[in-house]
């Protein structure tokens, strides 16, 4: 009988592998959606020679490594970005499994939602509210990753992604209020936030500063070529707000926004790479806030 620590590790590695596979899918979505291509109906193929990718070369991260970053058919280099996205998503699912799922929700602002810890008690014997919180947060990180990739490629965030995120938040806040764990915490301060709808709606408000940046860019559009970055940034903040609730929404803007401001300030020439980090900072900020939600909330009296 293996020890609980080993079962935890195997389960986390398995969830990490699922995350890497989803990361592989996100690469495809981010590449095809802005071009109006079907996301599901056409199997993966080399963008240069159009040969279908063999199933054994399509294994996340490792496929790229054993092909040494080159297409098996035409030898053209394949961007390391595919493997990096798979690795980042795999790592996020892995880390969050320990920090959220196996800890019984110890990272959540109201504290753990169960006294049980470990993969056996919370995942293999399903604790649905906890698995729901984990899946909800993983989904948010996936949606944000699509926006990051689309943004790097210089496109506007696809409307389908926005609709999907908002619809998901409406359904989830209507049916499973435990997906908005800050409500209980807010009640302790006498804030009437018993409703998860209210939390989700206030979360959207938290993206307003980001949208103001967008409006400002629109006004000054005449002087410079219009960029999709402010819109993508505002949408990424809005999605975080509506899916995590008002508190996390503001925090993301605060931490992600100030990190971006510092980077842009340090980089005197506002080149592509400095602007690019604007949406990436929302992904990193959101991931950080999910991981350290409780200690961060504890900093505020």
> How many whole angstroms separate alpha carbon 222 and alpha carbon 66?
48
What is the signed CA dihedral for 53, 78, 25, 45, rounded to 10 degrees?
-30
Residues contacting Zn ion: total by CB under 5 A: 6
Q: Report in angstroms how near the CB of residue 70 gets to Zn ion at its nearest.
A: 8
Nearer to Zn ion (CB atom), residue 44 or residue 139: 44
Of residues 9, 28, 39, 46, which one binds Zn ion by CB under 5 A?
46
Of residues 53 through 112, those in contact with Zn ion by CB under 5 A are: 71, 73-74
Q: Report in angstroms how near the CB of residue 50 gets to Zn ion at its nearest.
A: 7
Nearer to Zn ion (CB atom), residue 71 or residue 244: 71
Of residues 266 through 295, those in contact with Zn ion by CB under 5 A are: none
Q: Segment contacting Zn ion (CB under 5 A): 43-51, 57-65, 77-85, 280-288?
A: 43-51
Q: Segment contacting Zn ion (CB under 5 A): 8-16, 22-30, 39-47, 93-101?
A: 39-47
Token pair recorded at residue 97: 């499994």
Question: How many Cβ atoms are within 10 Å of 242's Cβ, its own excluded?
Answer: 27
Please give the backbone phi and psi of residue 52, each rounded to the nearest 5 degrees, phi first.
-65, 140
Nearer to Zn ion (CB atom), residue 71 or residue 235: 71
Q: Segment contacting Zn ion (CB under 5 A): 42-50, 59-67, 207-215, 230-238?
A: 42-50
Q: Which of 218, 235, 257 is nearest to 156 (CA)?
A: 235
Q: Report in angstroms how near the CB of residue 43 gets to Zn ion at its nearest.
A: 14
Nearer to Zn ion (CB atom), residue 48 or residue 160: 48
Exposed e or buried b for every residue in 117-145, given b needs 16+ CB within 10 A? bbbebbbeeebebbebbbebbbbbbbbbb
Please give the backbone phi and psi of residue 77, each rounded to the nearest 5 degrees, phi first.
-65, 140
Residues 279 and 229 sit within 8 Å (Cβ to Cβ)? yes
DSSP string, 185-216: HHHHTT-----HHHHHHHHHHTTHHHHHHHHH
Q: Report in angstroms how near the CB of residue 185 gets to Zn ion at its nearest.
A: 52
Q: Report in angstroms how near the CB of residue 51 gets to Zn ion at its nearest.
A: 5
Residues 237 and 249 sit within 8 Å (Cβ to Cβ)? yes
Looking at the DSSP bridge assignments, the partners of residue 52 are 45
Nearer to Zn ion (CB atom), residue 38 or residue 50: 50
Q: Report in angstroms how near the CB of residue 45 gets to Zn ion at its nearest.
A: 8
Q: Report in angstroms how near the CB of residue 284 gets to Zn ion at its nearest.
A: 33
Nearer to Zn ion (CB atom), residue 46 or residue 201: 46
User: Contact residues for Zn ion (CB under 5 A)?
Assistant: 46, 48-49, 71, 73-74
């Amino acid at each position: 009988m293996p020890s609980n620590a080993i079962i935890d590790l195997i389960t986390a590695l398995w969830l990490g592998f699922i995350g890497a596979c989803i990361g592989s899918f996100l690469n495809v979505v981010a590449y095809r959606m802005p071009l109006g291509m079907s996301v599901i109906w056409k199997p993966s193929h080399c963008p240069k020679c159009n040969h279908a990718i063999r199933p054994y070369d399509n294994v996340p991260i490792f496929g790229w490594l054993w092909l040494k970053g080159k297409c098996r058919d035409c030898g053209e280099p394949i961007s390391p970005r595919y493997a990096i996205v798979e690795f980042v998503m795999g790592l996020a699912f892995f880390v969050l499994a320990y920090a959220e799922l196996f800890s019984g929700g110890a990272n959540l602002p109201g504290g753990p939602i169960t006294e049980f810890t470990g993969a056996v008690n919370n995942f293999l014997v399903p604790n649905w509210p906890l698995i729901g919180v984990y899946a909800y947060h993983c989904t948010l990180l996936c949606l944000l990753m699509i926006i990051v990739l689309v943004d790097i490629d210089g496109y506007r965030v696809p409307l389908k992604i926005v609709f999907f995120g908002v619809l998901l938040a409406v359904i989830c806040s209507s049916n499973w209020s435990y997906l908005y764990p800050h409500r209980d915490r807010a009640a302790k301060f006498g804030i009437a936030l018993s409703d998860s709808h209210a939390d989700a709606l206030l979360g959207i408000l938290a993206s307003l500063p980001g949208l103001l940046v967008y409006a400002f860019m629109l006004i000054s559009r005449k002087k410079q070529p219009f960029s999709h970055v402010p819109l993508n940034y505002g949408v990424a903040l809005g999605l975080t707000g509506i899916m995590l609730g008002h508190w996390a929404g503001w925090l993301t803007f605060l931490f992600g926004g100030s990190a971006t401001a510092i980077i842009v300030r340090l980089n005197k020439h506002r080149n592509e790479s400095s602007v690019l980090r604007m949406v990436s900072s929302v992904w990193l900020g959101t991931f950080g806030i999910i991981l350290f939600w409780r200690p961060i909330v504890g900093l505020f009296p």
